[in-house]
Every structure is written in C-alpha cells, then in structure tokens.
Amino acid sequence: MGQAEDTEIIDVVGLILADYEDNRSINKIDINNQPDKQAIVDIVEKLMKILYPGYYSDKVYKIYSLKNNMPATIEDIIYHLNKQIVIVLKYCRRGKNTEEKDLEAEARKITLDFMRKIPYIREMLDTDVEAAFEGDPAADSRDEIILSYPGLFAISVYRIAHELSLLKVPMIPRIMTEYAHGITGIDIHPGATIGKYFFIDHGTGIVIGETTEIGEHCKIYQGVTLGGLSTRGGQSLKGKKRHPTIGNNVTIYSGASILGGETFIGDDVVVGGNTFIVNSVEKGTKVSAKKQELKYSNSAN
C-alpha cells in the first residue's frame, strides 16, 4: 500500500477507537472481570462426561475406569464452575457492599449444592432417554439416542442449567442453554420447569419460554413454540407468568404455537400441527387446525 492508503487506514483505526470512548452498553473493556463463555462451554462438555459416563469420556486413556478417571473430571468441574460463579456474582453485584470473601463462600456453597444434584439430574435424564426410545420407532438403541439425538442433548444441557437457575446463579445458565440452542436449534430457557420422561422429536425450531411449565410424559415435535402473547411490557413483565402450562401425557405436533401465561393445556391433550392456541384446553381434547384447501396447477394442462 502507498502512503495515502496507510494514512486512511490509520484514520479509520482512530475513528473506531474513539467510538469506544462513548458510554455504550455494547462496550466491554474490562474483560478479566466478566464470565468466560468458552470456559462455561467447557464446563458443560465436562458435565456431559459425568452425566453419561463412557459416552462422552476422553479416548486418550488406554484403560478407562470410572474410579480412576472420573474423580479428576469431577474435581476439575468443581474448580472451574466455582471460579465462574464467583465472577458472575461479583459482576452482577457491582456497586453493592459485598465482601469478596462472602462472595467466594457463597459461590463455593452453590457449586457444591449443584454437584450434589448430579444424581438427581442423571435420574431425570434416564427417564428422558427412555421416553425417546419408547416414543421413536426410528431409534435402534438407547446408545444411538445418547450419542446422536439433538433433542436429548438440548434437554441434558437444560437440566444442568435449570438446577443452577434454581440456585440463583446469574448468566451462566443462559449461556449454557444458548450454547445448546446454537448446536441444536432448540431454545429452552433454563427457568422453564419440565417434568420426567420428556421427549423432543427432531427438535429444530422449538422455543420453550422462561415461565413455561411442562408435566410428565410429554412429547414435542419440531417447530413448536411455547411462548408469551406479547413482550411490549419489556422489563415490567419480569417475574410474571408469561408462558403456558402443559399437563401430563401431552403431545404437541410440529408447527404448533401455544401462547400466554394463563393458557393451560390439560392432561392427555393432543395438539395438532400448525395450530395457534391462546386459550386453555380441557383434559383429553384433540386440537387440530381446519383442513387446508390445496390448489394444484399443472403448466402442461
């Protein structure tokens, strides 16, 4: 490049750097005191190893043994998760007079309380695997489901994030579920409540909002939205029930939208594809959209 081009490049660099001096929310200069997204993703991947031992384990070991290899993985998760929780607690309580030692003690307690939940999470996931195997005739084995089904992966990450959310951990649960969202196309908010034997078939395009409640033995197909009626209220809606409640033994077929915090779908309901529901549905009901009129044209005729 010539001298004129170099000068122009220097001017552009200066222009952009000057723009960082404005007090915009998208500016973040202090990168050392905010949660590390990649570190949180690494924690999720290591958690998958202890949730599904033998399925996600490292292949670097010539001899794999739960007793020999798993303790190191568990201790590694505890260390790094505790570190990230300390960071998010500090980050979200800026300006408050909280002693650092108190935050560290709180983070340690949260971390250990979460790790004690691992057997419970595994119990829930075992029911989800069973629901997928019993609900999908295309599944050849439970191994296939664990290793390849995006729906189970999204549910697994959700169940991790949900327990952290119940422990009032900020930011980290959402980073986890958005990581799964990016991989699978399935968007489950960590605040949602989902019962046992939950099966997501295919899955792409599913949205499950923060205050959604789903019972046991429910099955959801691709493109389903369990959402809010309106977000115009913005932050004033925080903490309010905005998303539907789904009973037990409910099947929701592809493309259905069920919206609103006062919408209740009773037990044993079947919701047909491409339906739009904003009112409650009684137990045992089958909901379907009116049959579309199809029009065919053939240029040869």
Reading the chain (301 residues) residue by residue, the pLDDT tens digits are 567 667 888 888 888 888 887 777 777 656 566 889 999 999 999 999 999 998 886 655 555 556 667 888 999 999 999 999 999 999 888 767 778 899 999 999 999 999 999 999 999 999 999 999 999 999 999 999 999 999 999 999 999 999 999 999 999 999 999 999 999 999 999 999 999 999 999 999 999 999 999 999 999 999 999 999 876 666 766 778 999 999 999 999 999 999 999 999 999 999 999 999 999 999 999 999 988 788 888 877 6
What residues have CB less than 8 Å from 126, skipping those under 6 apart? none
Task: Report the C-alpha gap between 3 and 228 in whole angstroms.
Answer: 57
Q: What is the CA radius of gyration of the chain?
A: 24
**Amino acid residing at 50:** I
E strand or H helix at 173, and its extent?
Answer: helix 172-184
CB atoms within 10 A of CB 184: 21
Query: Residues 263, 178, 44, 110: is their CA dihedral positive or negative?
Result: negative
Domains assigned to the chain = 30-185 (1.10.3130.10), 192-290 (2.160.10.10)
Task: Report the C-alpha gap between 49 and 260 in whole angstroms.
Answer: 37
E strand or H helix at 277, and its extent?
Answer: strand 276-277
Instruction: Give exposure, 256-284, as e/b (b: 16+ Cβ within 10 Å).
Output: bbbbbbebbbbbbbbbeeebebeeebeee
Query: Residues 102, 79, 85, 209: is their CA dihedral positive or negative?
Result: negative
